[in-house]
Amino acid sequence: MTLSAAVDGRLGVAKTFKLYVGGAFPRSESGRSYPVADAKGRLLAHVALGSRKDVRDAVSAARSAFGGWSGATAYNRGQVLYRVAEMLQSRHDAFVDDVVAAEGITRKRAGTSVDAAIDRWVWYAGWTDKLSSVLGSVNPVAGPFVNWSTPEATGVVGVLAPRSSSLLGLVDVLAPVLATGSTAVVVASESRPLPAVGLAEVLATSDVPGGVANILTGRTAELAPWLAAHAEVQGLDLAGAPEELAAELERTAAGTVKRVLPRPAAEADHTRVPGTARLRAWTEIKTVWHPVGR
């Protein structure tokens, strides 16, 4: 929990930081926590230190939620994700505080980053009902058949959040997963988890169904291997993987034939408007043949 600060002669109410799994806020089953410091090394909070059992619980929640989320209309998913952006906007100042503390930047720069994160969420929300037109097609074939291809959600995607851009980077890797109709298990930035915890509270109070997005805090090196090896995880985004661990995670993921987005060679520039690469990554193209009779 956070340290209690004196407010008007009284102690403030310390906040307890938990995991976000299945739409609820459980403590880690291990009962452990770890300290999080600000950019100047001062203690900010103690957050839950997730375990491999927490990873299994999160994957189970994401798997249970996948059918309903991927089966919803693209328009409805877009409405739900837009509501998340509305909630982010309503908590703008609180996220600015979290980003300032996490990254040690000025409030002006933090405000710009939070604005970009909100805009980015709206941008991805707008893609939900356009993916079929952009990625799908009707294919010319020889013979009395009609052939068309349509995108479908990949499934459960494990996401290692970037360590540098604490909120905008997280939105960049989580929003496209949800926009495609996939569900997510996110391992938050180990050193800068508080914006992710704040985002979990936004998800919980918006219209996102429980289990669609699950956020774990803890040691990336401890949680990532179990996420990579889990047979019910169909995709893995290594955006925030430690350099020394990335290759081993790719090899582990290959054991269950996952789609893997490798760790970028250089730190990503999250201020740039992304293309459709991550949207394409978490969709599978299904092709249907149908006979045409006379």
Q: Is residue 130 part of a domain?
A: yes
The whole-number pLDDT of residue 117 equals 96
User: Is 84:117 a contact under the CB 8 Å cutoff?
Assistant: no
Residue 3: pLDDT over 70: no
Q: Which two tokens stand for residue 9?
A: 């002669």
137 closest CA partner among 287, 290, 292: 287
**pLDDT per position as a tens digit, 226-278:** 999 999 999 999 999 999 999 999 999 999 989 999 998 766 666 777 889 99
The whole-number pLDDT of residue 33 equals 94
**What are the C-alpha distances in Å from 99 to residues 122, 148, 199, 293?**
20, 45, 12, 61
What is the mean predicted confidence (pLDDT) over 113-118?
Answer: 96
Q: Is residue 11 part of a domain?
A: no
**pLDDT per position as a tens digit, 214-226:** 999 999 999 999 9
Q: How far apart are alpha carbons 50 and 32 in whole angstroms? A: 8
SS3 167: coil
Q: Is residue 198 part of a domain?
A: yes
The whole-number pLDDT of residue 162 equals 92
First to last CA, the chain: 71
For the chain, the domain total comes to 1
The whole-number pLDDT of residue 1 equals 47
| Burial grade of 131 (CB within 10 A; 0-12, 13-18, 19 or more) | buried
Q: Is residue 1 part of a domain?
A: no
Residue 4: pLDDT over 70: no
**pLDDT per position as a tens digit, 71-112:** 999 999 999 999 999 999 999 999 999 999 999 999 999 999
Output 10 or 244, whichever has higher pLDDT. Answer: 244
Q: How far apart are alpha carbons 48 and 200 in whole angstroms? A: 13
Banded model confidence at residue 210, pLDDT cuts 50, 70, 90 = very high
**pLDDT per position as a tens digit, 43-76:** 989 999 999 999 999 999 999 999 999 999 999 9
Q: Is residue 206 part of a domain?
A: yes
Q: Print the domain residue range for 213.
A: 16-291
The whole-number pLDDT of residue 264 equals 87
In single-letter form, the type of residue at position 136 comes to G
Q: Is residue 9 part of a domain?
A: no
Banded model confidence at residue 115, pLDDT cuts 50, 70, 90 = very high
Positions of E strands within 105-154: 137-139, 145-153
Q: How far apart are alpha carbons 227 and 213 in whole angstroms? A: 15
**CATH classification of the domain holding 264:** 3.40.605.10
Give φ, ψ of 283 to 5 degrees. -125, 150
**pLDDT per position as a tens digit, 136-185:** 877 778 777 787 788 899 999 999 999 877 899 999 999 999 999 999 99
Positions of E strands within the chain: 6-7, 10-11, 33-37, 43-48, 137-139, 145-153, 156-160, 183-187, 213-216, 235-237, 259-261, 283-291
Q: How far apart are alpha carbons 126 and 74 in whole angstroms? A: 10
Q: Is residue 171 part of a domain?
A: yes
SS3 184: strand
The whole-number pLDDT of residue 279 equals 95
265 closest CA partner among 282, 249, 281, 247: 247
Q: Is residue 7 part of a domain?
A: no
User: Is 19:28 a contact under the CB 8 Å cutoff?
Assistant: yes
173 closest CA partner among 201, 199, 194: 199
